[in-house]
C-alpha cells in the first residue's frame, strides 16, 4: 500500500513536535509501602518531523507502548524515548505521562484511615545527544493568611492551595518523599477523612502556622535545596482564595 506519510513535503517547514496525545494506558509505578501500584495513565508522545517528510506514522507510537506494556516506569522511560527516535526516524523524541498516585493516610488524632490521591507526572525528551527527565507532583494543602490573622480579632481566612513541584535528580527517590516535602511546607496537609477531633486539630494547627503563597514556595524550595539529590526544581503554588474572586500565585525555580 502507498505510504503517504513518507511522501516529500515541499514547504520546507520542520515540525518540532508531532505525535499522539491523550492515550489512556495502564502503568506500573513503584510504591514504597506496597511495592507497586497499577494506575491508569494519560500519555502524550511526540517526535520531531524533518521538513522533507509529509507526516509521521501515528500507529507506531501505540505499537511502541505495547512493547513495554507493564514496564512503563522511571527505569524504562529513556529506553522508550530511544525506541521512538529509532522507529520513527526522528532526531528527537518527547513523552509525557500523567497518572494518579494513591497514599493511605491516617487522621492526626483518631487515626482513621483513608486514601488520598495525588497527580504525578513523568516528562522527558531525548535528541540523541542529551536526555532530560523530570518527575512532578501536584499536592493539595491548606494555607491560612498571615495578614488576616494579624488584623482580625477573631479567626483568619484560609484556602485550599495547589502546589506543583517538578524536579531533576541524580538517583532514585520515592514519590511519597516529594509529597511529604510539600505537605510539611504548608499550614496543614489535607486528608480525605477527618472525624471531629481531627478537624479541630487540623483547624488549630493551620491557625498557628499561617503562610502566604510566597512562604509555601520558598519553604518547599529550601527543603529541596538541602537535598543534594535534586539538581533542579521548580515550585508553583496557587491559593484558591476564600474571600476574593481570584487566586494568589507564586512560582520559583532553581537557576
Q: Which CATH superfamily is domain 139-255 in?
A: Urate Oxidase; (3.10.270.10)
CA distances to 22, 38, 255 from 73, in Å: 18, 11, 28
| Averaged pLDDT for residues 187-202 | 96
How far apart CA 29 and CA 38 sit, in angstroms, is: 7
What confidence tens digit (pLDDT) does each residue in 72-118 have?
777 788 899 999 999 888 899 999 999 999 999 999 999 999 999 99
What confidence tens digit (pLDDT) does each residue in 211-253 have?
999 999 999 999 999 999 999 999 999 999 888 889 999 999 9
Residue 141 pLDDT class (50, 70, 90 cuts)? very high
Residue predicted with more confidence, 153 or 133: 133
Model confidence at 32: pLDDT above 60: yes
How far apart CA 14 and CA 55 sit, in angstroms, is: 11
Same fold, 1-106 and 139-255: yes
Residues listed for the chain: 255
In DSSP terms, 231 is beta-bridged to none
The answer for residues whose C-beta is within 8 angstroms of residue 81's C-beta and 6 or more apart is 93, 94, 95, 124, 125, 126, 131
Domain boundaries, the chain: 1-106, 139-255
- Name the average pLDDT for the chain: 90
CA distances to 8, 55, 91 from 88, in Å: 16, 10, 9
| Averaged pLDDT for residues 185-190 | 96
How is residue 139 written as a grid cell?
A: 499536592
Residue predicted with more confidence, 213 or 13: 213
Q: Which CATH class is domain 1-106?
A: alpha beta
Model confidence at 255: pLDDT above 90: no
CA distances to 70, 85, 199, 209, 237 from 204, in Å: 45, 54, 9, 9, 22
Q: What is the pLDDT of residue 3?
A: 53
Share of the chain above pLDDT 90, in %: 67
Q: How many CB atoms lie within 10 A of CB 46?
A: 23
Amino acid at each position: 500500500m502507498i505510504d503517504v506519510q513518507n511522501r516529500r513535503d515541499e514547504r520546507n517547514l520542520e515540525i518540532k513536535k508531532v505525535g499522539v496525545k491523550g492515550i489512556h494506558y495502564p502503568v506500573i509505578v513503584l510504591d514504597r509501602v506496597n511495592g507497586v501500584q497499577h494506575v491508569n495513565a494519560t500519555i502524550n508522545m511526540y517526535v520531531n518531523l524533518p521538513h522533507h517528510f509529509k507526516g509521521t506514522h501515528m500507529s507506531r507510537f501505540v505499537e511502541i507502548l505495547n512493547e513495554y506494556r507493564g514496564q512503563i516506569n522511571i527505569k524504562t522511560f529513556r529506553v522508550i524515548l530511544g525506541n521512538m527516535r529509532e522507529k520513527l526516524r526522528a532526531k528527537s523524541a518527547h513523552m509525557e505521562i500523567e497518572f494518579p498516585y494513591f497514599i493511605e493516610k491516617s487522621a492526626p488524632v483518631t487515626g482513621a484511615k483513608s486514601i488520598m490521591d495525588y497527580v504525578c507526572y513523568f516528562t522527558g525528551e531525548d535528541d540523541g545527544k542529551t536526555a532530560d527527565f523530570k518527575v512532578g507532583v501536584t499536592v493539595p494543602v491548606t494555607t491560612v493568611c498571615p495578614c488576616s490573622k494579624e488584623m482580625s480579632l477573631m479567626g483568619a481566612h484560609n484556602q485550599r492551595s495547589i502546589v506543583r513541584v517538578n524536579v531533576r535528580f541524580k538517583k532514585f527517590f520515592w514519590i511519597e518523599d516529594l509529597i511529604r516535602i510539600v505537605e510539611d511546607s504548608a499550614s496543614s496537609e489535607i486528608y480525605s477523612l477527618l472525624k471531629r477531633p481531627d478537624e479541630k486539630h487540623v483547624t488549630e494547627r493551620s491557625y498557628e502556622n499561617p503562610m502566604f503563597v510566597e512562604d509555601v514556595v520558598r519553604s518547599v524550595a529550601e527543603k529541596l535545596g538541602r537535598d543534594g539529590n535534586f539538581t533542579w526544581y521548580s515550585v508553583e503554588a496557587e491559593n484558591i482564595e476564600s474571600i476574593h474572586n481570584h487566586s494568589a500565585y507564586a512560582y520559583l525555580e532553581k537557576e
